[in-house]
Amino acid sequence: MLRTGYQHQMRGHLDEAVRTYRKLLQKVPDNVDVIHLLAMVRGKQGHFEDAIRLYRDALRRSPDRATLWYNLGLMYNAASRPAEAGDAYAQATTLDPALPEAVGLWYAARRPECDWRDHDRLAAAIAASIQPGHAPVQPFATLMLDEPALHLAAARHRCQCLRAQAPVSAVTTARRAGPWRIGYVSADFRDHAIAHLIARMLELHDRNRFEITAISLGLNDGSDYRARIEAGVDAFLDCATDPTDAIAAKVRASEIDILVDLMGHTSGNRIEIFCSRLAPVQVAFLGYPGTSGASEMDYIIADAAVLPVADGQFFSEAVVHLPDTYQACDPSLRVMPPPNRADCRLPDEALVFCAFNNLQKLDPQTFAIWMGLLSAVPESVLWLLPGNQGAITNLQREAAACGIDPHRLVFAEKVPVGDHLARLPLADLFLDAFPYTAHTTANDMLRMGVPIVTRRGRSFAARVAASLVTLMGCPELVAEDPEHYAAIALALARDHERRGMLRARLRDMRATSPLFDAARYVRHIESAYESMMARWLAGAAPAAFAVAPATG
């Protein structure tokens, strides 16, 4: 009742503001400030198209005011007009590079749409975000550039901003007796790629030595994965609607020894709780292929291939190398009966290039390589993940500009993970994105025996697929530059026999590779946790180390 009354009161205030500003405009019809204020109020009332009209009216009178372009972008977003929102953010950033959040919003409007009209300008704006006089960008956006120093700078700035808002917590100096208490924090304990990777690991933790708590920041999607994770841990804390101080209180009450962040700077994260130092040891793991930038995050779980020792300078955390791979895996994922090509709208006789990365990872350089492959292999198609209509239209336009029939782009339907895995062998060859390469998707492809052509870059995000492909015995599929990447893919596309040999190799490796040995993986990460706690108990600061391979 109180909330309803408050909302009614707010509506009344907004209605009164509209009447006031319209009266003022009758006297001063060209006053940009009044038009701006009226546009803001109309936006708050949900009248987005009217707000857009007003902002454009104000911009006709004052086209060099960055805040007008910025707010116009917000209204275009609210009206589900992302292309125009991107244009507005681009103009706002041009006029004022220090405008808060503008570069991030520009990026968010362009990338999911595969709208590359100002790709180079956007990349330059992201790169410039570490310079004085430029607004810092969200760390996730920087992963689309293969620049580890930029990743660190953006993450550090983000954590500095969040630290001021984080509740203060006393550093724990003692612990109660019993097994080590591990707390995993995520908004993705649901039907999500992270849950697909980690569910089995949670179940396999040695309960004689470890007590496992899941701290859930996301809403319950009612999926089997949510139920499985709830059943696979010793305690499940549902914090989806809790403010930061309430989450902190729940974690402190659980007396967690090692608090593990599965999110980093991805959507839905609450990295500020780690800035509060809620556990003696805090660890970044799996969900974000870059540094947290938080001085309170003690360690990051990696492997020597994705994060070489020399690259530790770009991470605020001490680097822990697991022996085989940093990536957890659930080899027990159920695969449904396989479909045929007709079921997936794929031509029976064509060579199928598959590029099942999230569409926002795509960039014009790599896409141009793919179009060159389609041109060189006339009977081929490119199989892509589903996207919104804007992304589909833009990719079809880009294909046509390269001289490729847009119908040779086949967009898959969204299906449950078991059906998704079952359809992957219909592809002849997987073409990876760059520099944010395939992660869970690479795992899926290798599990199902599909050869991957990938590139290795300088950053964590640009090395994951290369690490996995090498672990599966196919290092010759890893390229070091665009030309090498295109040459490997074309040679394989023209060599049916060699593709068959690679499939057989992957099939054989599937039974023996450490990538799919969940029990071995759990022994490694548990050894890492015990070493971290040993250092803490000894009063030693976090330091990089490597876990010895499990025997037996």
CB-based contact 360:111 (threshold 8 Å): yes
What the block records as the tokens of 500 is: 């068959």
Label the pairing between strands 318-321 and 258-261. Answer: unpaired
pLDDT string in tens for the chain (552-residue length): 444 554 656 677 888 999 999 999 999 999 999 999 999 999 999 999 999 999 999 999 999 999 999 999 999 999 999 999 999 999 999 999 999 889 999 999 999 999 999 999 999 999 998 888 888 899 999 999 999 999 999 999 999 888 876 666 656 666 778 899 999 999 999 999 999 999 999 999 999 999 999 999 999 999 999 999 999 999 999 999 999 999 999 999 999 999 999 999 999 999 999 998 999 999 999 999 999 999 999 999 999 999 999 999 999 999 999 999 999 999 999 999 999 999 999 999 999 999 999 999 999 999 999 999 999 999 999 999 998 999 999 999 999 999 999 999 999 999 999 999 999 999 999 999 999 999 999 999 999 999 999 999 999 999 999 999 999 999 999 999 999 999 999 999 999 999 999 999 999 999 999 999 999 999 999 999 999 999 999 999 999 999 999 886
What the block records as the tokens of 453 is: 């052509």
Cα 122 → chain centroid: 18
pLDDT, residue 1, reads 40
The alpha carbon torsion through 82, 128, 305, 263 (nearest 10 deg) reads -50
What the block records as the tokens of 87 is: 């244009």
State the amino acid at position 454 in one-letter form: T
Angular region, 264: left φ>0, alpha ψ -120 to 50, beta rest: left
The DSSP symbol for 282 reads E
pLDDT, residue 170, reads 59
- Whether the ω angle into residue 435 lies within 30 degrees of 0, i.e. cis, is yes
Strand partners, 453: 431
The owner of tokens 């180079």 is: 120
Label the pairing between strands 210-216 and 452-455. Answer: unpaired
CATH 1.10.760.10 applies to domain 2-147: no
CA distances from 236 to 140, 187, 211 (A): 28, 13, 11
Angular region, 434: left φ>0, alpha ψ -120 to 50, beta rest: beta
- Rounded distance between C-alpha atoms, residue 505 and residue 471, angstroms: 12
Nearest to 428 by CA among 345, 507, 498: 498
CB-based contact 447:421 (threshold 8 Å): yes
For the chain, where do the domains classified as CATH 3.40.50.2000 start and end?
Answer: 342-515
pLDDT, residue 9, reads 63
CA atoms within 13 A on the CB side of 419: 9
For the chain, where do the domains classified as CATH 1.25.40.10 start and end?
Answer: 2-147
Label the pairing between strands 258-261 and 235-238. Answer: unpaired
CB-based contact 229:236 (threshold 8 Å): yes
CATH of 148-331+517-552, one of 3.40.50.11380, 3.40.640.10, 3.40.50.300, 3.20.20.80: 3.40.50.11380
Relative orientation angle of helices 193-204 and 518-537, to the nearest 10 degrees: 70
CA distances from 145 to 90, 361, 424 (A): 18, 11, 28
CB-based contact 82:76 (threshold 8 Å): yes
What the block records as the tokens of 20 is: 């006031």
- Rounded distance between C-alpha atoms, residue 413 and residue 529, angstroms: 40
CB-based contact 466:437 (threshold 8 Å): yes
For the chain, where do the domains classified as CATH 3.40.50.11380 start and end?
Answer: 148-331+517-552
What sign does the dihedral 530-536-542-545 (CA atoms) show? Answer: negative
The owner of tokens 């339907």 is: 413
Cα 424 → chain centroid: 22
Q: Considering the entire predicted model, what is its pTM? A: 0.93
CB-based contact 290:264 (threshold 8 Å): yes
Which residues are CB-neighbours of 70 under 8 A, at least 6 positions away? Answer: 88, 89, 92, 99, 102, 105
- Rounded distance between C-alpha atoms, residue 339 and residue 85, angstroms: 40
CATH class of 342-515: alpha beta
Strand partners, 479: 455
- Rounded distance between C-alpha atoms, residue 546 and residue 531, angstroms: 10
For 356, phi then psi, to 5°, come to -90, 25
DSSP 58-114: HHHH-TT-HHHHHHHHHHHHHTT-HHHHHHHHHHHHHH-TT-TTHHHHHHHHHGGGT
What the block records as the tokens of 55 is: 């902002």
What is the number of residues in the chain? Answer: 552
Query: What are the strands of the beta sheet with 351-355, ordered from one edge?
Result: 409-411, 380-384, 351-355, 429-431, 452-455, 478-479
Beta-carbon count within 10 A of 420 CB: 20
What the block records as the tokens of 95 is: 């006029």
What the block records as the tokens of 325 is: 């791979």
The DSSP symbol for 280 reads S
